[in-house]
Amino acid sequence: MRENARVAADYKGDYQELVDEISELLGAPATLENRDFELLAFGAYDSDDELDTSALDPVRTRSILTRRSTAGVRTWFEGFGITRATGPVRIPPSPEAGVYRGRICLPVRHRGVVVGYVWLLEGESGPADAQLDAAMRVAGRIGALLADEAEAGAGLSRELRAVLTAEGGWQRDMAVADLRTALGPRADGPHTLICVAPWPSADPGDAPSARSVPHAAALCTIPWGATGQSLAVLVRLRSPAVDAPALAAAGRVLEEAEGAWGALRVPGGSGATAQGGPAPGGSGTGTRGAAGKGAGGTSGKGARGPVPRGAGAAVAAAVAAGVAGAGRYPGGLGAAGYGGPAAGIGDPRIGLAELGAVWQEARAAAQAALAERHLGPVAQWRGIGPYRLLTALPPESAQDPAAGPLLSPAHRELARTAEVYLDCAGQAGRTASELGVHRQTLYYRLNRVEQLTGLDLDDGEDRLLLHMALKRARL
């Protein structure tokens, strides 16, 4: 377990040194990517001459700026046999694919398994065979580091999961102590947790590596509801007051979630998954509204800063419907929120002792973002308003008897009318405008609500009860 103390960030300097060594051996800047084409390190352009812009073809530029390559680029390069190669592979230029200059790929292997690639731009006079042989020996050392890091990362996943699933008391204390040992001195700094739900797989191999998620120290899958899964991400922060690292990590993981759900779609675009049921982004109707307050930008009352646009179009777009019970996810998760997975972020803490509480906050924020489209796709616990209390209620309290008749499918429009009226603080003019109906129509509907529920909408406590019951029903 103590070997896990050397976690992902501790390898960064080693990778960079080895990439620089290859760059020096071959006289050209090298880049290192893992087997998923995620950038790990790159050599600097070291020359007294003016920068050769032809070296900055679109594929190389995107890899360095976004630290990853597209699926199309990956498929194109893999077509040259790099996944099976045991020696250098020369790849010719292809301007139509955005590859303006030829590449030399050095497969990075460990015990016969490819774990990454070193890339070089090929010049007019390429490196000699002896130089490439020396570079391949360095690539072998990189392979050992990548394998070592993968083992350490797997350990951190186990330890993080143990903390978040432990029952309280001494069991959680022991799990926290193990995670603190694994993280080393950085365990005492500020951290938060992100919950991404629903996550499509319980298989740890389907989760992204912690290295590919900015500021992530560890991640693991955690059960969500009766049959679903969520992804937990432990994020290191520079300061408890700075949200940017958590928002960047949430956006990156949402990209992964969206891509994974997209891969499960049944060909034909019906919105169903191979496992049955509607996929996120395919609620059955296939309708999508315009982006809500936080779609791809500021996440309304949730995240205070900008949500990375890399969160993906399907995650950032709002579902057009807005009624309780519509647009549910596989396993009955979520209600009328986004057409894809959502992320919740807990409040930061110093150290690891309160990770259990932070995880509950992150889960609550994710639930709120799934329920209310204006809170997503990324919601912070501090900004989810009444859902901070509603998500803490036990499942058996989900429906108050007074609100029961109103929540039946036959009265969906009345439920929406009542919720909008209460959201507008009982102001009839605002409510009618929001619903696009005449005031007399509004008054008729509100009278029907009172008849169905037995509640008096002029009474503050009755209004509070109905408002909370309608909000709770979204969860």
DSSP, residue by residue, 149-206: HHHHHHHHHHHHHHHHHS-SHHHHHHHHHHHHHHHGGGGGSEEEEEEEEEES---GGG
CB 30 within 8 A of CB 41: no
CB 138 within 8 A of CB 25: yes
What is the predicted pLDDT for the residue at 53?
Answer: 52
What is the predicted pLDDT for the residue at 55?
Answer: 52
CB 41 within 8 A of CB 63: no
Closest CA to 366 of 393, 333, 394: 333
The Cα–Cα gap between 239 and 348 comes to 9
Residue 100 identity (one-letter amino acid) = Y
Question: What are 92's two structure tokens?
Answer: 């010719």
Residues across the chain? 475
Residue with tokens 């405008």: 433
What is the predicted pLDDT for the residue at 37?
Answer: 82
Dump strand ranges (E) for 200-311.
216-224, 228-236
CA 19 distance to own-chain centroid: 29
- φ, ψ for residue 71, nearest 5 deg: -65, -35
How do strand 190-199 and strand 342-345 relate by DSSP bridges?
antiparallel
- DSSP bridge partners of 349: 191
DSSP per-residue letters across 430-451? HHHHHHT--HHHHHHHHHHHHH
CA 250 distance to own-chain centroid: 4
The Cα–Cα gap between 376 and 291 comes to 10
The distance in angstroms from the start CA to the end CA of the chain is 39
The Cα–Cα gap between 325 and 475 comes to 9
Cβ-based neighbour number of residue 326 at 10 Å? 19
Rounded to the nearest 5 degrees, what angle is found at the Cα of 161, between the Cα atoms of 158 and 164? 155
The Cα–Cα gap between 422 and 463 comes to 7
CB 378 within 8 A of CB 302: yes
What is the predicted pLDDT for the residue at 151?
Answer: 64
Per-residue burial over 14-42, b if 16 or more Cβ lie within 10 Å, else e, is bbbebbbbbbebbebbbbbbbbebbbbbb
The Cα–Cα gap between 49 and 201 comes to 50
Q: What letter would DSSP give residue 13? A: H
What is the predicted pLDDT for the residue at 147?
Answer: 78
Rounded to the nearest 5 degrees, what angle is found at the Cα of 216, between the Cα atoms of 214 and 219? 130
Per-residue burial over 270-300, b if 16 or more Cβ lie within 10 Å, else e, is ebbbeeeebbbbbbeeeebeebbebbbeebb
What is the predicted pLDDT for the residue at 63?
Answer: 66
Residue with tokens 């309160």: 354
Q: What letter would DSSP give residue 383? A: G
Closest CA to 276 of 330, 332, 338: 330
Query: Coil, helix or strand for 465?
Result: helix
pLDDT averaged per 10 residues, the chain (length 475)? 42 74 89 84 61 60 66 85 93 83 91 90 82 93 81 74 89 91 86 94 78 84 89 92 90 84 52 38 31 34 36 31 28 44 95 94 94 88 90 74 84 91 91 92 92 91 88 80
